[in-house]
Structures are given as C-alpha cells and as structure tokens.
C-alpha cells in the first residue's frame, strides 16, 4: 500500500505544477518519463513555500513557514510524511541525493521575503541564489544523480538559467511586488520613476544570463534537453515582451505569454529540436 500512498502524493505535486504553471508543466512533459515525477516533486515543494510568503497575508506567515521548514527536514530524515507535498519532495531528495545545502539556501530565501522589503547587492545575490539558482541545481541533480562530473560541469549555466528566470519574474511581477507588497528587489530602483536607462541596464544583465544558460542547455543529455530548452524559450519570449514595453508599463500590467503563443513556441521548438539546430 505504500506504493499507492506515494503515487497519490506524487500526483498532488504534479497537479500543483499543472494548476500553477502551464508553461513549466509543458516543459516537464517534454522530459524523459523517468525524470518527470521528480521535477514535479521539486516544483510542488517550492510552490507551497512560495505561497506561504507571497499569498498568505492575514495569516501568521512566520509560524506557517517555520512549521513548513521543520516538517520538511523531518520528512527528509524519516523518509516519509503525511503531507503529500513534503512526502513527494523527501522522496526525490533522498532518491536523487540532493544536497541539503540547496534546500537550506532555498528556505532561507523564503524567510528573507518575510523580513526584507529592499535588497542591497549582496542580499539580492543571496536571495536569487536560494530562490532560483538552488532550485535549478536541484533539478540538475535529478538529471545527473550519479554523474558528478557532468553535474559539476553544468552547475554554472544551470545557475544562470535560474537567475535569468528570477529576474524576469521580478520585472513581470513588479507591479504587485512594489505596489502591494512593498518589495524592491533591484537596489536603488524606484519603479514609480523607472527610467529607460535603468530598465535597459537590468535587461542587459538578464540577456547575459540567458546567453550563459544556453551554453549549458545544448550540453544537456538528450532525455532532458528539449524540456529545459522549451522552458527557456517560454521565458525568453516573455522577456522579449518586457523589453519592448515602456518603463512605465512595468507598473501598469503583468506580462504573460498567451496559450496560443505557447503553442506556436512549442511547435517551433519541436522543429528546431528535431533538426538538431539548437
């Protein structure tokens, strides 16, 4: 019956991924089947932690996050949890030998969201590492559980991909973060007086991260390369929309890639993958 219990819990992580991110879900579907459930398990864990600090206003977020953190480590140590999301995550952590330091870094970034409203350069780097780069490294370890040489070789581009995604998220969510949550992730940026020069400087950073990440994507094993490339293309398309927008538009709306356009990107990426030209 433990098999049924675990399958049920992993379906919970899969459904969490599907409900919260159609783009990420499509990318996971393109991975070889042996890797999918582990990536769903990681996403479900990350999503629940993020919900505590980003959505549960009006509740005791500090207590909720502390309980979540405590329960996470108990689940990993015991090898089981009655929380479906945590049981799925601990299974992946233990099965794929994910470094606990990556989990520590991620959870510390979640704690930062409860204590920081503005970030200096050092704090921002720490936040991005934990909230995005560490998550990318967790996924990379799933892909290369028993291949330390390849895992170590691809750590830098994997971190850059996470960094690019997170910075795009900062711009995409600037209206909500700045106006509703009082958060400013980019030091000395006043989004109420956001200039073209400031916007371009941030975009240049993001483009560099995307370029560095792509060098690693093409080196990934065939079983996972297309899924990661598709997620890269979705975020690159979102980034291109933001680049074309005026600085004042950042606070006016939340940018997104429509489902129809995602379909077009999927077809184009599939053709490039089949032709071996990316």
Q: What is the 3-state secondary structure (H, E, C) of the chain?
A: CHHHHHHHHHHHHHHHHHHHCHHHHHHHHCCCHHHHHHHHHHHHHHHHHHHHHHCCCCCCHHHHHHHHHHHHHHHHHHCCCCCHHHHHHHHHHHHHCCCHHHHHHHHHHHHHHHHCCECCHHHHHHHHHHHHHHHHHHHHHHHCCCCHHHHHHCHHHHHHHHHHHHHHHHHHCHHHHHHHCCCECCCCCCHHHCCHHHHHHHHHHHHHHHHHHHHHHCCCCHHHHHHHHHHHHHHHHHHHHHHHCCHHHHHCCCCCCCHHHHHHHHHHHHHHHHHCCC
Nearest to 172 by CA among 83, 88, 255: 255
Q: Which residues of the chain have pLDDT under 70?
A: 178-180, 182, 187-188, 190, 274-278
pLDDT of residue 188: 67
What architecture (CATH level 2) is domain 2-275? Orthogonal Bundle (1.10)
pLDDT of residue 187: 67
Structure tokens at 180: 């509703």
- Phi and psi, residue 180, nearest 5°: -105, -30
pLDDT of residue 278: 63
What are the CA-CA distances from residue 255 to residues 54, 136, 201, 224, 237 (Å)? 18, 23, 19, 27, 11
pLDDT of residue 39: 98
pLDDT of residue 133: 98
pLDDT of residue 277: 60
pLDDT, tens digit, for every residue of 169-186? 988 887 777 666 767 777
pLDDT of residue 180: 66
pLDDT of residue 73: 98
């Amino acid at each position: 019956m433990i098999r049924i219990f675990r399958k049920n819990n992993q379906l919970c992580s899969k459904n969490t991924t599907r409900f919260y991110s159609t783009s990420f879900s499509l990318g996971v579907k393109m991975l070889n089947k042996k890797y999918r459930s582990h990536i769903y398990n990681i996403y479900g864990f990350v999503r629940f932690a993020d919900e505590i600090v980003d959505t549960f206003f009006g509740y005791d977020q500090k207590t909720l996050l502390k309980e979540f953190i405590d329960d996470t480590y108990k689940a990993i140590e015991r090898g089981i949890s009655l929380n479906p999301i945590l049981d799925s995550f601990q299974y992946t952590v233990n099965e794929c030998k994910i470094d606990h330091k990556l989990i520590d870094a991620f959870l510390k970034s979640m704690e930062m969201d409860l204590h920081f409203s503005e970030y200096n350069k050092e704090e921002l780097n720490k936040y991005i590492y934990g909230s995005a780069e560490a998550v990318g490294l967790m996924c990379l370890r799933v892909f290369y559980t028993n291949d330390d040489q390849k895992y170590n070789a691809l750590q830098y581009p994997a971190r850059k991909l996470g960094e690019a995604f997170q910075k795009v998220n900062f711009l995409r969510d600037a209206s909500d973060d700045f106006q509703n949550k009082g958060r400013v992730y980019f030091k000395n940026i006043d989004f109420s007086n956001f200039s073209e020069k400031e916007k371009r400087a941030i975009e240049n950073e993001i483009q560099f991260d995307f370029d560095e990440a792509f060098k690693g994507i093409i080196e990934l094993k065939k079983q996972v390369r297309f899924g990661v490339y598709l997620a890269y293309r979705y975020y690159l398309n979102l980034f291109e929309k933001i680049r074309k927008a005026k600085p004042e538009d950042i606070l006016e709306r939340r940018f997104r890639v429509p489902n129809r356009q995602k379909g077009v990107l999927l077809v184009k990426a599939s053709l490039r993958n089949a032709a071996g030209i990316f």
